[in-house]
């Protein structure tokens, strides 16, 4: 399918599993496809140490290797990848224009696959110590804490997976969870509870990150006992939720109350020719396999839109 000069058939915003899978399907179908990816393509999946529930890899696969393979597929079929800092504007119409700090890009259709970012707790000291002991990525920063004591805040799959990963480096890992049972899948719960390096602090909430030039301790409330403890740690990793990367879509497409993109069953947004896929979409399951499936489905919608059907 041909486009007028400087106007792509489809621009895919986001280089995670949803965006890259969409690029594979779109480019393989002959669409002039451009992927705009923030920093290294791959999204959060690329920073996941080990994925063991993606079909076809019975021994598991690193997140980086999985998304790198999808990226290489997309490039082989002719997709173009462009690294950008951030999307600064989005103009709709028959030709859509994506404005970034690196320039403007135009296309007849757009797939938004910008994913989510980890959300902080907002407790005292958190922002002050970012980069000095506070982190949101164990895979990125875990090696800095060899033989040290760290804490992971949260009780879902991401928190427990990252706590287990940190045991490769840290001498001790506290898992701070506000309930009396982890929300993570059973396989992760069992591993965490059996891991001697992990100490789970039940019914507890982080109230403050403390230190001088860097993190030295965390102030924790044990809500069932009404007690507070100052616990020595060298690092604190936050996994307490996610926020969608959808700020540039305010006033462009309909979002839910949390900022996730609303679509119909074909993944079409409220703006003609604009589709959404993956974690940024208001969907039921935030998983790599689900995101990849949505990337493929979004391309089907794009093809129908471009064909006028």
**What does the pLDDT read at residue 1?**
47
Per-residue pLDDT of 98-152, as tens digits, reads 999 889 999 999 999 999 988 889 999 999 999 899 998 888 889 999 999 999 9
**What does the pLDDT read at residue 2?**
45
* 3 pLDDT above the threshold of 60: no
**What does the pLDDT read at residue 239?**
92
What's the CATH fold of domain 120-238? FAD/NAD(P)-binding domain (3.50.50)
Per-residue pLDDT of 34-58, as tens digits, reads 999 986 667 778 777 788 889 999 9
Structure tokens at 20: 């890259």
What's the CATH fold of domain 7-117+242-307? FAD/NAD(P)-binding domain (3.50.50)
What is the DSSP track for 184-242?
A: S-HHHHHHHHH-TTEEEETTEEEEEEEESSSEEEEEEEETTTTEEEEEE-SEEEE-S-E
- How many other C-beta atoms are found inside a 10 Å radius of the C-beta of residue 103? 9
Sign of CA dihedral 109, 82, 280, 301: positive
In the set 140, 185, 230, 254, the catalytic residue is: 140
Residues of the chain with CATH 3.50.50.60: 7-117+242-307, 120-238
Task: Provide the percentage of residues in the chain whose pLDDT is more than 70.
Answer: 97
- Model confidence band, residue 4 (pLDDT cutoffs 50, 70, 90): low
Is 140 one of the catalytic residues?
yes
In the set 49, 68, 117, 137, the catalytic residue is: 137
In the set 9, 32, 141, 279, the catalytic residue is: 141
- Give pTM, 2 decimals: 0.80
HSE-up (13 A, CA, CB side) for residue 157: 12
Strands (E), the chain: 7-13, 33-38, 80-84, 87-91, 96-100, 103-112, 116-118, 134-135, 149-153, 172-176, 198-201, 204-211, 215-222, 227-232, 235-238, 242-244, 274-276
Is 102 one of the catalytic residues?
no
Is 141 one of the catalytic residues?
yes
**What does the pLDDT read at residue 40?**
61
- Model confidence band, residue 180 (pLDDT cutoffs 50, 70, 90): very high
């Amino acid at each position: 399918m041909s486009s007028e000069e400087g106007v792509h058939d489809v621009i895919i915003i986001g280089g995670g599993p949803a965006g890259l899978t969409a690029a594979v399907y779109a480019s393989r179908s002959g669409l002039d496809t451009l992927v705009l990816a923030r920093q290294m393509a791959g999204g959060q999946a690329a920073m996941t140490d080990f994925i063991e529930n993606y079909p076809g890899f019975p021994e598991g696969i690193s997140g980086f290797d999985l998304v790198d393979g999808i990226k290489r597929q997309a490039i082989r079929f002719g997709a173009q990848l462009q690294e950008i800092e951030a999307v600064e504007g989005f103009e709709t119409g028959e030709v859509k224009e994506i404005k970034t700090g690196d320039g403007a890009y135009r296309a007849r259709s757009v797939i938004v696959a910008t994913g989510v970012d980890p959300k902080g707790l907002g407790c005292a000291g958190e922002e002050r110590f970012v980069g000095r002991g506070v982190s949101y990525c164990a895979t990125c920063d875990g090696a800095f804490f060899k033989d040290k004591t760290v804490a992971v805040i949260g009780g879902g799959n991401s928190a427990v997976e990252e706590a287990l990963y940190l045991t490769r480096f840290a001498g001790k890992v506290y898992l701070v969870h506000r309930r009396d049972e982890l929300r993570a899948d059973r396989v992760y719960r069992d591993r965490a509870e059996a891991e001697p390096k992990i100490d789970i602090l039940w019914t507890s909430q982080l109230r403050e990150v403390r230190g001088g030039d860097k993190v030295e301790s965390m102030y924790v409330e044990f809500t069932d006992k009404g007690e507070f403890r100052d616990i020595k740690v060298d690092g604190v990793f936050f996994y307490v939720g996610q926020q969608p990367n959808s700020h540039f879509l305010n006033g462009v497409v309909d979002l839910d109350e949390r900022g996730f993109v609303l679509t119909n069953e074909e993944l079409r947004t409220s703006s003609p020719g604009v589709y959404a896929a993956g974690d940024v979409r208001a969907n039921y399951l935030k998983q790599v396999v689900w995101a990849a499936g949505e990337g493929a489905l979004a391309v089907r919608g794009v093809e129908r839109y471009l064909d006028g059907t």
